[in-house]
């Protein structure tokens, strides 16, 4: 009993530290990468005893600044809702990661340990359900601030987020049809299959259109890159105008944490989760753990190394997807609002519906 409890707490600690570390590094990477892309130097001033760590210390300075700033509550606004809004923005992000496996199921001394906090049959539904709570944060922040600009900004952000949430939900139905399960753990296992014996059956290969729909929809959910109208850094006044200190920081910590979580969802559903192509463990290949290449070559690897490689592969995929989101964010200009709504409802929606129909047809014909 205590062992089980310890394992749960341990897994939660690993996931939380991973998300917070990822979000922390992203606040630094965002500045450094944008500086690199626009030929500037970027964050390089903050230092602890002369140590700068290429500007990472700036992120520490930011966090301290936010904690010690005045926590402003608008006296004419709805104070309780104003205080609650950042909670709704940050809370769901840390809940959603729980259904994603960050490594294979391992066996230690006869005890089977899945590297996944919650093994839910309705994993993807849980993910979408908690993910949609984040809309309330933006809506309440805009409503409770007692400010005309935040009200309109909040409404704009809400309309954007719910429009793209539909695309998010619709684009996931294709992969669910292919894998036949809502559990990300099952999806991860299924992606070690191979088409005609040599193409890895990753989501991006069997469902390329779903991937191309999911990536922009996910980025619109995080309110970033071409879809950053809700914040509109300096030009448009957004929902967070009346926020200061750490409660403002919670919106943006939530946003950076959401980038990490969405990168993990993308990696799980579309990029083979923790799978490495042609790498099998002992259970899958009659006790012969290692690389089994389609041309017949076999490279034996110890069982623990297989596990290590898989956890490493998940981490690398998440990092690459985070980098990709940064790169897109600093490459493309912002959409206009009517364009934004048109892309979601009139262009992505019919494609998503057609993708479901075609996928169902193919799955039925193959089976």
Q: Smallest distance, Å, CB 13 to another protein?
A: 8
28-36, 145-153, 197-205, 284-292 -> range binding another protein (CB under 8 A): 145-153
Q: Is 347 in the site for another protein (CB under 8 A)?
A: no
Q: Is 9 in the site for another protein (CB under 8 A)?
A: yes
Residue 332 DSSP one-character state:
S
Q: Is 205 in the site for another protein (CB under 8 A)?
A: no
Say if strands 290-292 and 279-280 run parallel, antiparallel, or are unpaired: antiparallel
By CB under 8 A, the residues from 72 to 91 that bind another protein are 72, 74-77, 83, 86-87, 90-91
Three-state DSSP class for 298? Answer: strand
Q: Is 283 in the site for another protein (CB under 8 A)?
A: no
Spatial separation of the C-alpha atoms in residues 254 and 233, rounded to whole Å: 17
38-46, 48-56, 120-128, 267-275 -> range binding another protein (CB under 8 A): 120-128
Minimum CB distance to another protein smaller for 33 or for 119: 119
71-79, 207-215, 265-273, 297-305 -> range binding another protein (CB under 8 A): 71-79
Spatial separation of the C-alpha atoms in residues 56 and 45, rounded to whole Å: 10
By CB under 8 A, the residues from 306 to 345 that bind another protein are 337-338, 341-342, 345
Q: CB count, 10 Å around CB of 315?
A: 17
Q: Is 265 in the site for another protein (CB under 8 A)?
A: no
Q: Is 246 in the site for another protein (CB under 8 A)?
A: yes
Query: Taking the mean position of all CA atoms in its chain, how far away is CA 149?
Result: 29
Nearest Cα neighbor of 95 from 136, 123, 135 is 123
24-32, 42-50, 140-148, 220-228 -> range binding another protein (CB under 8 A): 140-148
Q: What is the 3-state secondary structure (H, E, C) of 107-158?
A: EECCEEEECCCCCCCCHHHHHHHHHCCHHHHHHHHHHHCCCHHHHHHHHHHH
Q: Smallest distance, Å, CB 104 to another protein?
A: 16
């Amino acid at each position: 009993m205590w062992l089980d409890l310890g394992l749960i707490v341990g897994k939660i600690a690993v996931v939380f530290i991973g998300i917070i570390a990822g979000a922390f590094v992203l606040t630094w990477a965002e500045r450094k990468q944008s500086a690199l892309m626009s030929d500037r130097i970027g964050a390089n001033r903050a230092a602890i005893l002369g140590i700068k760590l290429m500007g990472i210390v700036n992120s520490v300075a930011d966090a301290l600044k936010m904690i010690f700033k005045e926590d402003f509550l608008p006296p004419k606004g709805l104070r309780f809702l104003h205080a609650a809004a950042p909670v709704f923005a940050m809370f769901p992000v840390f809940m959603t990661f729980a259904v994603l496996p960050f490594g294979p199921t391992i066996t230690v001394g006869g005890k089977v340990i899945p590297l996944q906090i919650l093994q839910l049959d309705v994993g993807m539904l849980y993910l979408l359900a908690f993910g949609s709570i984040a809309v309330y944060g933006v809506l309440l922040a805009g409503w409770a601030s007692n400010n005309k600009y935040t009200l309109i900004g909040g409404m704009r952000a809400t309309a954007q987020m719910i429009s793209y949430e539909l695309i998010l939900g619709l684009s996931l139905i294709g992969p669910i049809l292919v894998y036949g399960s809502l559990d990300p753990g099952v999806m991860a296992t299924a992606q070690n299959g191979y088409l005609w014996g040599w193409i890895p059956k990753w989501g991006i290969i069997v469902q390329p259109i779903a991937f191309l729909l999911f990536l922009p929809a996910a980025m619109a959910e995080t309110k970033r890159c071409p879809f950053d109208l809700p914040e509109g850094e300096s030009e448009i006044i957004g929902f967070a105008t009346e926020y200061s200190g750490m409660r403002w920081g919670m919106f943006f910590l939530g946003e950076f944490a959401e980038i990490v979580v969405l990168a993990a969802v993308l990696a799980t559903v579309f990029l083979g989760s923790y799978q490495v192509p042609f790498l099998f463990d002992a259970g899958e290949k009659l006790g012969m753990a290692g690389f089994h290449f389609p041309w017949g070559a076999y490279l034996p690897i110890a069982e623990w190394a297989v596990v290590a490689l898989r956890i490493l592969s998940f981490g690398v995929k998440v990092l690459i997807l985070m980098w990709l989101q940064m790169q897109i964010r600093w490459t493309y200009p912002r959409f206009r609002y009517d364009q934004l709504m048109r892309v979601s409802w009139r262009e992505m929606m019919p494609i998503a519906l057609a993708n479901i129909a075609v996928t169902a047809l193919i799955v039925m014909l193959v089976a």
